[in-house]
Amino acid sequence: MAIRKRKSTTLAHVSKMRPRHKDPIETPITTNCTDSESHYHAGVSGHPEPPPEGLAPEPSPPGQAPDAGTSSAPSPPRTGPHRQVKTGTSDVLEKWRPLFPFLLEDILFTEADPNIPGPCSSCQSPATARCIECFGRRAACVACLCKSHVHMPFHWVEVWMSTHFVKTDLSSLGLSTYLGHNALPCPHLSAKSQPSKFVVTHTNGIHELSLYYCHCPGRPTEQSQLLRAHLFPATVEYPKSLFTFALLKEWHIHTLTSKKGAYDFVRALGHLTDNGFPHSVKNRYREFSMVSRVWRHLAMVKRSGNFHGLVLPGRDPALLTVPCYTCPWPGFNLPDKWKQVPAHLSYIYRIELGGDGNFGLQKKSKHDDPNDHSLAPHQGFFVDEVKMRPYLKQIEEEDPSNFSQRRAVGFRQGRLNDLENSDILTARGMVDLQKGERFGHMDFAFAGALEGLEDLAILFTYDVACIYEVNFRQRFERQFPHLADTVKHVTMKLPRMHMLAHKELCHTVYALCYAWGAGIVSGESVEHPWSEHNQVGLSTREMSAGGRHDTLNDFLSFWNWLKVQQMSLFLGRKLKEGLIGQERTTAYFRGLTALAGPDNVSEWEQMSTDAVVVGTGSRKKVESVYLLDRNAVPSTGKVYSELCEQEITAAQDKTNQAAVGVPPGAAQMIKTALEIEDQQCSLRFRAETAEDSDTQVEDSLSGQRDRLGRSLERLRKQQLDLAGDLSTLLPTDDVNGSSNDHPEDDLIGLPSDFTPEERSKYNLHLLARQELAMRLGRAYDLLAAVQEAVKHKAAFIQHKKDNARGQKDNLRAGVPIRMAEENCKRLAKTYNFNYAKLLVLSGPDLIIPPIVATPGIAEDAVMQVPKGKKRKRDDDLSSKASSPVLPAPAVTCRGLQLIDLSKDLVARDLQKARHLGDSKYEASWIWTTPIPAGATEHDMKAWSLEVSRVDWFRARAEKDRHDENVNKLHADFRHTIKAYRSMARLWTVAGERTDTSRGAQAFAHQKAAMFLRMAQECEEEYVESRRDKLDGEKLDYSLP
């Protein structure tokens, strides 16, 4: 589990483990920062932003490849399905193709040497060898070749064997290497001394080396002599294998950028040594694994400033991670009087963190060294597991996926981490999950990320924030009392895309778009590093626990450093985009304000923007100025209440009773009938989709049918009490209660089940009006349920795309998707069945689409009685009740329509990148808000004003978020510049220490110069990017 800051720091990330993996998985916290390769600190991780568009290489002209020079003008592109796109590649390759024989001739020419046999250019002895590493490959005798290579002992040479060259190393030709005296023999070296034999691994292969140590009095140890000669020994005592610094540095960069493993790297070195017989080359994989791990750790210690004694305010000096230099950091990159900022601008000094779980960094359960611990325990991204385990045993909590606030359940556990919004992972913000994702894991990750943030307000995004914060502060007061005051200043919200998996209440209460000070942050940056780091997971899952932690610490640190390196360009690009967005949203808001008029605006400005949650349990709902008033849209409950009120009024007033014309209890009977109808639709759908051989399902269906039959019996008695004439319309067995084995096929006995002639004959018109009103409200209820179900299905599909890996995971993830798909179809068919009844009841006073046939709509789009089932009436009503004439969709979507199961049950993928032609995408009509049918002119005006009010509030919120975004980006620039300068001063002081070596002093001054240059480049980018070129110290850049 990881937490992440808004700019460059990530808090904690917990790795969710697959069931077969029993060992812990980690959770990091990250921060978004950038650093150079020579100085990256381990810390929070994030995903580097793509290079700014302004720095992208310009595309080559048509028909011309880069560096290919000019070429003939390309032919005009053809149009149509078979048109060709010229990229220039084919033109360039066609010029090379006829030259292939000549190219091979020249390449093969180098396999021999025209000067061999011949005299050596230095001593005139026969030239029999040449160096293939030196430019020009000058032929020479063996003695001169060794003499010229005393400082280059790892060059490969070739010796002519009368017919061909044979590759060998200089040691086999007699070259010896001396340490401590500029490649000359030590004066104290005995004549009888024998060289030490080593196997040395260099960037070009694996060599043998004859080496003499220095024997002067007061000489360094043999280990120090090797290291100062850029040779790293494989063991502490009696080493026989050495690795050059050049090799270790090259491998380090390769593995960080390409995720190449040590095994493949050493294997490639074997092929470089002897590509014909690589199996004959000495295998140094085991030794290299140990040395590379030590090298990783030492590089982190050196670059973090830990060895030089750098102490940053509010930060544990033992940490080796790369911090976020952009996020607010008291005493380091903030002005002295930052606490005196006006309250409405205090968000510019608020840090933003995010947490989520990753599935791609598991560890296999395998036998390895139980004593193999990390070389940097508690100095990197992982929390102290020794302290975390007792805490997990103390707390008892429910799985986050079981809470009602979250619709999409069944998500599999994995790794959790915390991250800052700037994509930088935070130190001690990652934890390993042992048995699924628990809030205790996130607590420890979050606690690690909060260290040093005691003076700051915090915005935290988490995909289950609505659940996590319920007892969050109580747990911290009990387990982390030193952070009890800090968590009081934590505001929790949902990431923008993860809200898809939550109910509508969360969409308002926990929405970033309505959160003061949030800007336009998405809260999703915690997932940015996953695609990069999951590539490492293929290697780390095989490692020991300690090796895995050390490797991940290194990779996450490198991620942070990449973010630090790119921070200036990233902020500049974002500020330019932010200024454009600010102008756009401000202009739109001004236009809506002018259209609304001063009276309405004045009234709206007095309204509170705080969301109000009313009700409890399943009836809980939210009221907000950002949502349309649901009272303006019919619902079953609302219509039922109105009809009951009319019945009460009629009972007190005989005139009203005559006007109403229906007996008391009619509304209750219709409501009960509609509930039974819903049970019938669900039962029919389940029976249609059930497998014949599934006895368990058949038993369940039998029980449901029994209960449904009893409900129908009670309904019949209620109907006959209200309208005794119904006994002549309903079949005999229906009047006495359902005797059918399939009560889901029985008629409900509402006016919509009868013909207009029958309704007129038995005086059911007024009862039909009540049914019409109830069904209209039910239509809106069902439409809302369909929308909810479609979003639920989309959440499961997105979860599968993001986290399912392999056949087992995909099969498991497919189960909830199929269930969600069935739920969507069931609700849609129920809606269509209700809509069909509306058409049966509708008259000229009901505004609905015209009743004409719609081509292309599947027949099973309406919940029909299965074919072959016996109808209960002699005159078949299926043409009216079960399969009515289907209406054509309304052009303006102002009324209700039939749901097309093949087209309408989809939600647009908001995570998919924009592409050419997607502007033609038309959302399904179910995502619009139809104007209630039968609305009067007064209702239309009230509805229009309601829509205008919501649009105005949402536009104002969007403008405010863009203003905040611009203000925060200006502040981020100032924070980053000051942080770079602070780091330059700290490294300068370290370089002036007299108790360190000249090399340590030189390294410190190198770092100081690097940070000073980064500060200067950031200042230049800040001047170029901002609108106000003169004043970059303002706090508020909002537009009026």
Least confident of 87-101, 852-866, 892-906: 852-866
Asked if 289 and 264 touch (Cβ cutoff 8 Å), the reply is no
Is residue 195 domain-shared with residue 132, that is, in the same domain?
no
Tokens at 903, concatenated:
């087209």
Three-state DSSP class for 1022? helix
Q: Which residue has the higher pLDDT, 338 or 6?
A: 338
709 pLDDT above the threshold of 70 = yes
Q: Which residue has the higher pLDDT, 832 or 2?
A: 832
Q: What is the number of structural domains in the chain?
A: 4
Q: What is the mean pLDDT of residues 437-446?
A: 81
Single out the residue of 882, 594, 908 nearest to residue 753, CA to CA. Answer: 882
470 pLDDT above the threshold of 80 = yes
What's the confidence (pLDDT) of residue 637? Answer: 61
What's the confidence (pLDDT) of residue 702? Answer: 77
| 731 falls within a domain | yes
What's the confidence (pLDDT) of residue 523? Answer: 86
Q: What is the tens place of the pLDDT at every residue in 225-237? A: 999 999 999 999 9
Q: What is the mean pLDDT of residues 285-314?
A: 95
Is residue 337 domain-shared with residue 442, that is, in the same domain?
yes
Is residue 802 domain-shared with residue 855, that is, in the same domain?
yes
673 pLDDT above the threshold of 90 = no
- The CA distance from 36 to 564, in Å, is 8
What backbone phi and psi angles, to 5 degrees, belong to 268?
-65, -35
Q: What is the mean pLDDT of residues 255-271?
A: 94
Single out the residue of 970, 968, 951, 960 nearest to residue 1027, CA to CA. Answer: 970
Of 161, 193, 210, the one marking the end of a domain is: 161
Percent with pLDDT over 70 in the chain: 74
Asked if 408 and 501 touch (Cβ cutoff 8 Å), the reply is yes
Q: List C-alpha distances in Å: 238 to 220, 234, 313.
A: 16, 9, 43
Q: Which one of 63-72, 73-82, 948-957 scores highest in mean pLDDT? A: 948-957
What's the confidence (pLDDT) of residue 457? Answer: 94
Is residue 728 domain-shared with residue 861, that is, in the same domain?
yes
130 pLDDT above the threshold of 80 = yes
118 pLDDT above the threshold of 50 = yes
| 584 falls within a domain | no
861 pLDDT above the threshold of 60 = no
Q: What is the per-residue DSSP string for 205-228? A: EEEEEEEE----TTPPPHHHHHHH
106 pLDDT above the threshold of 60 = yes
What's the confidence (pLDDT) of residue 769? Answer: 81
| 1028 falls within a domain | no
What's the confidence (pLDDT) of residue 784? Answer: 78
What's the confidence (pLDDT) of residue 848? Answer: 41
Confidence of residue 239 (pLDDT cuts 50, 70, 90): very high
What's the confidence (pLDDT) of residue 718? Answer: 76
Is residue 675 domain-shared with residue 814, that is, in the same domain?
yes
126 pLDDT above the threshold of 60 = yes
Is residue 786 domain-shared with residue 910, that is, in the same domain?
yes
Q: What is the mean pLDDT of residues 810-838?
A: 83
Is residue 246 domain-shared with residue 340, that is, in the same domain?
no
Is residue 829 domain-shared with residue 895, that is, in the same domain?
yes
Least confident of 4-18, 652-666, 900-914, 956-970: 4-18
- The CA distance from 676 to 670, in Å, is 10
Q: What is the tens place of the pLDDT at every residue in 373-412? A: 899 998 999 888 777 777 776 765 444 444 333 333 322 3
| 86 falls within a domain | no
What's the confidence (pLDDT) of residue 932? Answer: 59
| 624 falls within a domain | no
Tokens at 99, concatenated:
């030259």
Confidence of residue 935 (pLDDT cuts 50, 70, 90): low
Only one residue has tokens 């199996």, namely 279
| 604 falls within a domain | no
Confidence of residue 906 (pLDDT cuts 50, 70, 90): confident
Give exposure, 112-149, as e/b (b: 16+ Cβ within 10 Å). ebeebeeebeeeeeebbbbbeeeeeebbbbbebbbeeb
For residue 82, what are the contacts with CB-CB under 8 A and spacing of at least 6? Answer: none
721 pLDDT above the threshold of 80 = no
Q: What is the mean pLDDT of residues 309-317?
A: 93
What's the confidence (pLDDT) of residue 538? Answer: 82
What's the confidence (pLDDT) of residue 905? Answer: 82
Q: What is the tens place of the pLDDT at every residue in 159-187? A: 999 999 999 999 999 999 999 999 999 99
CATH of residue 127's domain is: 3.30.160
Exposure on the CB side of residue 168, measured as CA atoms within 13 A: 18
Enclosing domain of residue 280: 180-304
Three-state DSSP class for 795? helix
732 pLDDT above the threshold of 70 = no
Of 279, 304, 329, the one marking the end of a domain is: 304
Pairing state between β 156-160 and 165-169? antiparallel
Confidence of residue 250 (pLDDT cuts 50, 70, 90): very high
Q: What is the mean pLDDT of residues 426-455?
A: 83
Tokens at 882, concatenated:
């079960």
Is residue 364 domain-shared with residue 241, that is, in the same domain?
no
Q: What is the mean pLDDT of residues 939-959?
A: 83
Q: What is the tens place of the pLDDT at every residue in 1006-1035? A: 999 999 999 999 999 999 998 877 677 889
What's the confidence (pLDDT) of residue 907? Answer: 67
In 421-517 the beta strands, taken as DSSP E runs, fall at 431-432, 458-462, 490-493
Asked if 27 and 360 touch (Cβ cutoff 8 Å), the reply is no
What's the confidence (pLDDT) of residue 764? Answer: 79
pTM, 2 dp: 0.70
What letter does residue 969 receive in the DSSP assignment?
H
Give exposure, 304-336, as e/b (b: 16+ Cβ within 10 Å). bbbebebebeebeeebbbbbbbbbbbbebbbee
- The CA distance from 643 to 641, in Å, is 5
Q: What is the tens place of the pLDDT at every residue in 660-672? A: 456 677 777 888 8
Confidence of residue 413 (pLDDT cuts 50, 70, 90): very low
Exposure on the CB side of residue 690, measured as CA atoms within 13 A: 17
Single out the residue of 650, 672, 668, 669 nearest to residue 659, CA to CA. Answer: 650
Only one residue has tokens 């639709």, namely 681
Sign of CA dihedral 803, 806, 808, 813: positive
Q: What is the mean pLDDT of residues 595-604?
A: 90
112 pLDDT above the threshold of 60 = yes
What's the confidence (pLDDT) of residue 878? Answer: 32
Q: What is the mean pLDDT of residues 5-33?
A: 39
Please state whether 213 falls in left (phi above 0), alpha (psi between -120 and 50) or beta: beta
What's the confidence (pLDDT) of residue 422? Answer: 62
Asked if 794 and 408 touch (Cβ cutoff 8 Å), the reply is no
What's the confidence (pLDDT) of residue 371? Answer: 86
Of 927, 958, 983, the one marking the end of a domain is: 927
What's the confidence (pLDDT) of residue 84? Answer: 57
Sign of CA dihedral 264, 265, 266, 270: positive
Tokens at 39, concatenated:
């100085």
| 71 falls within a domain | no
What's the confidence (pLDDT) of residue 635? Answer: 61
915 pLDDT above the threshold of 60 = no
Q: What is the tens place of the pLDDT at every residue in 316-337? A: 999 999 999 999 999 999 999 9
50 pLDDT above the threshold of 80 = no
What's the confidence (pLDDT) of residue 312? Answer: 94
| 468 falls within a domain | yes
Three-state DSSP class for 890? coil
Single out the residue of 526, 408, 538, 424 nearest to residue 466, CA to CA. Answer: 408
What's the confidence (pLDDT) of residue 723? Answer: 66
Is residue 197 domain-shared with residue 238, that is, in the same domain?
yes
Cα 256 from chain centroid (whole Å):
21
Is residue 730 domain-shared with residue 643, that is, in the same domain?
yes
38 pLDDT above the threshold of 50 = no
Is residue 436 domain-shared with residue 563, that is, in the same domain?
yes
